[in-house]
Amino acid sequence: MAVATAVYPPLDQRPIKNTIVLFDVDETLTPARRHATPEMLQLLSELRHKVAIGYVGGSDFSKQQEQLGSSDVNVTSLFDFCFAENGLTAYRLGEPLKGNSFIEWIGEEKYKELVKFILHYIADIDLPFKRGTFVEFRNGMINVSPVGRNATNAERAAFEAYDKQHNIRTTFVSALREKFPDFGLTYSIGGMISFDVFPTGWDKTYCLRHVEAEKAREGGVEYTTVHFFGDKAYEGGNDWEIYSDDRTIGHKVDGPEDTIKQLKELFF
């Protein structure tokens, strides 16, 4: 609770004023899908007396509340900026910022065209078996599974093996690229049974637009130095785009202990 009730200087009165430090969550601030240590939370609180701090996580807000907050501490009280779903859901000093969603961005007409094509394509693929839930609609993306998300673990493994031989997903993605070249979509094959479809650029760099918008606020700060700490800072990793972006100074970490070590070297 000491952390949550601490009083921080306003953003434009932090000692290192034009600097913001952003953090990935899993394996950077916390062990994967687990809670942050008291030591980490204490260090973040001390850092917040010097600079602005924020996190940028790929999963939704409830996950970060669980990992960084607790039943009596709202995660939005621990950071100046909270960027869930890469910033599609965002908070500044505890207040929500304007969000965004896949459907808002693509529009109902284009979305219908896309889903119509996907469902026809799935209907026509010959697989050894199919289950249900072929398109899962999420806030920032859609997830497409040729075999269906209702597949059991054994069925998932069987599909993955079949896919390795027959390139079901890569062929599907090529067909989508060819059909919708001007939709501005990125396709990412991950896991065993599906691939994600999301707007190009909606990786972790998405949150930088919120940071850049700060200078336009009354008494706002222009953040000329943006540090980013993340563990998946390699090509294909989900921290890569923001880590390698020209607007940030990237720091690659090897777990939360390493984040603490590097922060102490840089700021204390």
Q: Is 245 annotated as a binding residue?
A: yes
Give the nearest distance from C-beta 26 to Mg ion in angstroms: 4
Active site residue 254: no
Which of residues 196 and 231 has its CB atom nearest to Mg ion in the complex?
231
Q: How far apart are CA 155 and CA 157, in angstroms?
A: 5
Read off the amino acid at residue 265. E
Binding stretches for Mg ion (CB under 5 A)? 24, 26-27, 231-232
- Catalytic residue chosen out of the listed positions 12, 24, 182, 254: 24
Residue nearest to Mg ion (CB): 26
Nearest-approach distance from CB 227 to Mg ion, in angstroms: 16
33 has binding-site annotation: yes
217 annotated as belonging to a binding site for a ligand: no
* Alpha-carbon distance values, 196 to 65, 184, 230 (Å): 24, 14, 22
The C-alpha angle 7, 10, 14, rounded to 5 degrees, equals 95
- Of 4, 16, 10, 28, which is closest to residue 255 (Cα–Cα)? 28
Report, in Å, the least distance between residue 117 CB and Mg ion. Answer: 33
CB 18, min distance to Mg ion, A:
26
- Residue labelled with tokens 């913001």: 20
| 167: alpha, beta or left? (left if phi > 0; alpha if psi -120 to 50) | left
Annotated binding residue 124:
no
Residue 196, annotated as binding a ligand: yes
- Rounded-to-10 torsion of CA 18, 9, 40, 244: -10
Q: What are phi and psi of 53, to 5 degrees?
A: -130, 150
DSSP of 101-128, one letter per residue? -HHHHH-HHHHHHHHHHHHHHHHH---S
Q: Is 24 labeled as catalytic in the residue annotation?
A: yes
Q: Quote the CA–CA distance of 94 and 216 in Å, as a whole number.
A: 19
Least separation in angstroms between CB 22 and Mg ion: 12
- CA distances (Å), 265 to each of 48, 211, 262, in order? 16, 24, 5
Residue 223 labeled ligand binder? no
Instruction: Determine which one of 12, 26, 80, 163 is catalytic.
Output: 26
Active site residues: 24, 26
- The annotated binding site is made up of 24, 26, 33, 138, 149, 156, 192, 194, 196, 231, 243, 245, 248
- The annotated binding site for alpha-D-mannose 1-phosphate is made up of 33, 138, 149, 156, 192, 194, 196
- The annotated binding site for Mg(2+) is made up of 24, 26, 231, 243, 245, 248
